[in-house]
Structure 1
Amino acid sequence: MSTVATRSFHDIRRALLAHEELALIDVREEDPFAQEHPLFAANIPLSKLELEVFARVPRRDTAITLYDDGEGLATLAAARLSALGYSDVALLEGGLAGWRAAGGELFRDVNVPSKAFGELVESERHTPSLAAEQVQALLDAKADVVVLDARRFDEYQTMSIPGGISVPGAELVLRVAELAPNPATQVIVNCAGRTRSIIGTQSLVNAGIPNPVAALRNGTIGWTLAGQQLAHGQQRSFAPVSDTTRASAAGRARAVADRAAVARLTRDGLAAWQAEPHRTTYLFDVRTPEEFAQGHLPASRSVPGGQLVQETDHVASVRGARIVLVDDDGVRANMSASWLSQMGWQVAVLDGLSAADFSEPGDWQAPLPEQPQVNEIDVDQLQTWLQAPGTVLLDFTTSANYVKRHIPGAHWAIRAQLPQVLEHLPVAERYVLTCGSSLLARFAAVDLQALTHTPVYVLEGGTARWIAAGLPLESGETHLAVARSDRYRRPYEGTDNPREAMQGYLDWEFGLIAQLERDGTHGFHVVR
């Protein structure tokens, strides 16, 4: 392709302050991205670009600026985006080093806009909280207290406060009246660290529930640092609520959304927004994935509201875009929208829907480009080939999935690092590529074949097909062709993090407000 245009730090900063639509995309893997990046950078690794970009940057003439840290990935990404039909693609002048040299603020970790916003909320609203020792004392005394875990259910199951109930963030205002029907019951909201505890607690305060409410200060990290024991594998979750509870919660949520200046749209208004050619409009269904699968508005995407507020950059990767939220109860969309509005998004809730509007069953399917044509083999052929030397099997799934289970002898690889991968592989008569479904493997096969004269094949149906056939598996880091940089190890997840890392994470969160002030582009405001 021809020489790619560039945009400077000052170009990006001006566009952010003017609330123009832009996508600033870091195309490195998640771990290097998490080490340092601009506040509103979205991480779409080159390895998975084709699988994610259509959903995350849906409008093909969006102003996209790509960067890396000198690895050459951004130039490759620009060529791929151009081939996919994106027409306004530029490279960040000087890459990450150029941003730093221009005086741009750099942030650590992931989902930083949401986490920084949470710190700002606590600072301005003085969100009530209790220390781990105080909560433990209440539990030991068998006080009238309920602990609500605002994370995803799988996170809750990994580690949680003993006796806690899983109520992901957007569900809190809808469910709390039946989980704590006595107005005197002390409600404690927790997450692993701070953000979802703060936002969940403040949601209940904003909605005016009668109960005393407090965040578990510093979440499960604070609990662990206090020397207290966490539970593992808990199964407590919420039950359906009555119509009376739903109606009351809807009134509270609507009042919060109105205070936050959330817009209202009808189906016709949504269609008008979506028809505007030079604006991006995301349509998110913020109910549970199970409810979405039973029936949803056509063309909507399932993004549970608590995670949407926590990980906005991961789904709405165009800063300055418009977001429309949908539910069937008037609670979860309004509460989620109230936060997005305060985070500087132009956000609306879709009103006037009936049960008939939720007509599309099934899970959300990511929009994808045409899949490349590759040479496929079935499970039986692979099994035969693996019984003799000469076949090198590459697995492009996430490293976490690979460690959990993979086909025996498979080498784990990152698609964007294929030249380095080849240096660490045995001599091959043929390569066979797989991943969970072989979708990513199909794209990797094209890249690999361009680097070698050795025949390249893709396992039809991927590792899932191998597993379904009941064939042997192995686990662990048995054959890593490159380092596991595809995912940043969060200091607040898992059960084996060093105390120093957990405390360091809390210290980092406490410093986010000062970073926001230095950066100056956030556009956040906190509603009283």
Structure 2
Amino acid sequence: MSQHLPEKLPIVHTDAVRDALRARREIALVDVREEDPYAQAHPLFAVQLSTSRLELDAPWRLPRRDVPVVVYDNGEGLAEPSAHKLIALGWSDVSLLDGGLAGWAEAGGELFRDVNVPSKAFGELLEHERDTPSLPAEDVKALLDSGANVVVLDARRFDEYRTMSIPGGTSVPGAELVLRARDLAPDPATRIIVNCAGRTRSLIGAQSLVNAGLPNPVAALRNGTIGWLLAGFELEHGQQRRFGPVSAASLAAARESAQQLAERTGAQRIDEACLARWAADASRTLYRWDVRTPEEYAAGHRPGFGSAPGGQLVQETDVFAAVRGARIVLTDGGSASDAVRAPITAHWLAQLGWEVAWLDAPHPSEGLETGTWQPARGASPEVQTIGVAELAGLLAEDAATVIDFAPSAQHVQGHVPGAWWALRSQLSAALKGLPEAPKRIVATCGTSLLARLAAVDIQALTDIPVSVLEGGNAAWAAAGQPLQPGGERLLSPRIDRYRRPYEGTDAPREAMQGYLDWEFGLVAQLGRDGTHGFRVLQPA
């Protein structure tokens, strides 16, 4: 019997991809490697969508099934099977990048390092063109030590702020700054310092306040917490200071400035009827994001809108909008603070080259959904499952081998005792790395979603019985079973996540300085690349 071979995939040259990017035609340039190799080198607008998680992440990151998708790797053999998988899942316009990553470079395409590069590069271009005010750590420390009239506003996510923060700083994530700053610094003479971990969010945050016309002197903390540490200063840990309610006067002033800025950048103000037309337009990709805090989103949000707090949306646009050239619609809900965060976020996305609109309409009186955001997922395969008690019994009898497919950082933090860790994208090699043939394999992950997909792959590679732990590691822990820390039983290299030099509290000084040096060079890289389409708003 002859074996059915997949159809040959079309090949797209680097020049065609670059032409589409410059023309703002919809295209998704998809790197199917794990995050660490992706972060070492990739095109500016390439999005990382690991072959390990295609079924889970493609539905919400590539929502239009006939959008042009160009897939590549760097010779690992992942691109072609990933492209065929996308086709099998329902995407109809899938091709391979000619020569992969090496072909891009050989054709003269610029290669970028790190993650969220479009946003970081834009931040550097912003400072270059607008001379965004900043102060070095030494000057900020002197102001704080002298008791000067100064406030420090931390523009990162609250969990990042809680990990480490500038002494005395208050958590005000990026999209909240224009809304909250007037109440946090009501005296026009109060100096406002905006910080993040490195540079991007502090530069964009400080420039947000400058653009919005705050009377206060404003500056970014130059190089963020990295610069603070490199200057030899101590950070606080575990702080809980957050912004408070918004006064009516501050709300009115913030709303007027935010909407004027959105209009100046070409961001569109749309109503319910326009949103409905855009949602029904099958020829365009549409992303819909609620830019409020996660807590506000969970309390009640419009159906069809995901959660993307505005500061993070600007920082991680390549994650939240994987299709370059797509439309983006933002809402900030029906609370007393609406019509500020959506337009201020839209004014940044417009400068980043997106067709973006903000919904000028309050929440409907009924029909809101509650709870945390649940991304659209593909259908979960039917697999054999076992419960926590049954797995505990098998382990006690040494009758099962557990393979954990959770993110490696979660595995190291705590896993089912004795579990091995593996990458789904390297499953064949991982199975060969087991010291002996298992009697039975039990796949798990954080929730069992990825483990279900991995179990199907395992069963295709071996005759060993395979089950999935129902509910994954979360169910194991919730049942009171112990979690074992450590990373001694690794079947795959830990390349699923790129370690950012600015996260955590133990980054080497050389890595932190190297990261800053890299950021300084991004403006020159943008010039060489020539596809970005960024437009920095100039003073009125």
- The partner residue of 1:49 within 45, 50, 54 is 54
Per-residue deviation at 1:385? 0.7
For residue 369 of structure 1, what is the aligned residue in structure 2? 378
Q: How is 1:333-412 mapped onto 2 (pairs within 5 angstroms)?
A: 333-354=342-363, 356=365, 359-412=368-421
- How far is the alpha carbon of 1:315 from its aligned partner? 1.1
1:270 aligns with 2:275: yes
2:113 counterpart of 1:104:
no
Distance in 1, Cα, partners of 2:185 & 2:411: 42
State the shift of 1:369 in Å. 1.3
SS in 2 for 1:66: strand
Distance (Å, rounded) in 2 between the aligned partners of 1:198 and 1:41 = 24
Superimposed CA distance per residue, residues 377-402 of structure 1 (whole angstroms, 9 cap, x where no aligned partner): 11111001111234110011111111
Give TM-score scaled by structure 1 length: 0.99
Q: 1:188 aligns with which of 189, 193, 199?
A: 193
Match of 1:453 among 459, 463, 470: 463
Contact 1:442 1:458 in 2 (8 A): yes
> 1:439 pairs with 426, 429, 449, which one?
449
After TM superposition, the score normalised by the length of structure 2 is 0.97
Shift, 1:473, TM fit: 1.2
1:225 alignment partner in structure 2: 230
CA shift for structure 1 position 244: 2.9
- CA deviation vs aligned residue, 1:330-364 (integer Å, no higher than 9, x gap): 11101100000001000011113245267222222
Equivalence map 1:34-183=2 (5 Å):
34-183=39-188
Residue in 1 that maps onto 2:518: 508
AA paired with 1:334?
P
Question: Do the aligned residues in 2 keep the contact of 1:116 with 1:516 (CA within 8 Å)?
Answer: yes
Match of 1:234 among 239, 242, 253: 239
C-alpha separation between the residues in 2 aligned to 1:218 and 1:188? 12
Task: Write the distance in 1 (CA, Å) between the matches of 2:374 and 2:350.
Answer: 27
State the SS of the aligned residue for 1:210.
coil
For 1:358 and 1:211, the matched residues in 2 are separated by 41
Return the match for 1:484 from 474, 480, 494. Answer: 494
In structure 2, distance between residues paired with 1:514 and 1:71: 30
Take 2:339 and 2:156, find their aligned partners in 1: how far apart are those partners?
Answer: 21
- Return the offset for 1:173: 0.5
Q: In the alignment, does 2:298 pair up with 1:293?
A: yes
Residues 5-16 of structure 1: matches in 2 within 5 Å? 5-16=10-21
Q: CA–CA distance in 2 between the matches of 1:26 and 1:186?
A: 43
Indicate the larger mover: 383-392 or 453-462. Answer: 383-392
Letter aligned with residue 51 of structure 1: L
Deviations along 1:220-253, one digit per CA (max 9) or x if unpaired, are: 0100110111111111111121233222211111
Alpha-carbon distance between aligned partners in 1 of 2:368 and 2:482, rounded to the nearest angstrom: 41
Number of residues paired by the alignment? 528
Query: In structure 2, the residue corresponding to 1:349 is in which secondary structure?
Result: strand
Q: Hey, what's the Cα distance between the residues in 1 that align with 2:56 and 2:157?
A: 23
Unaligned regions of 5+ residues in structure 1, if any?
none
Equivalents in 2 of 1:476, 1:242: separation in Å? 49
Distance 1:7 1:211 in 2: 51
1:521 equivalent to 2:531? Answer yes
Do the aligned residues in 2 keep the contact of 1:297 with 1:357 (CA within 8 Å)?
no
Shift of 1:498: 1.0
Could you tell me which amino acid in structure 2 is paired with residue 470 of structure 1? G
Q: Is the 8 A contact 2:302 2:363 kept in 1?
A: no
Q: Is the 8 A contact 1:9 1:102 kept in 2?
A: yes
Shift of 1:259: 1.3
Separation in structure 2 between the aligned mates of residue 73 and residue 461 of structure 1, nearest angstrom? 29
Deviation string 1:286-318 (CA, Å, 9 cap, x unpaired) is 001111111111100110000000000001000
Instruction: State whether residues 183 and 246 of structure 2, in contact with CA within 8 Å, keep that contact through their aligned partners in structure 1.
Output: yes
Q: Deviations over 1:11-47 (max 9, x none)?
A: 1011111110000000000000000000000001000
Q: Distance in 2 between matches of 1:337 and 1:314?
A: 16
Structure 2: how far apart are the matches of 1:272 and 1:355? 18
How many angstroms apart in 1 are the aligned matches of 2:372 and 2:123?
30
Shift of 1:152: 0.4
Q: Where does structure 2 lack aligned partners over 5 or more consecutive residues?
A: 1-5
- Tell me the equivalent position of 1:31: 36
* 2:335 is aligned with 1:330: no
- Counterpart of 1:524 in structure 2: which amino acid? F
**Residue 3 (structure 2) aligns with:** none
Tell me the SS of whatever aligns to 1:273.
helix
Q: Deviations over 1:184-232 (max 9, x none)?
A: 1110000000000000000000000111100000000100110111111
SS of the equivalent of 1:137 reads helix
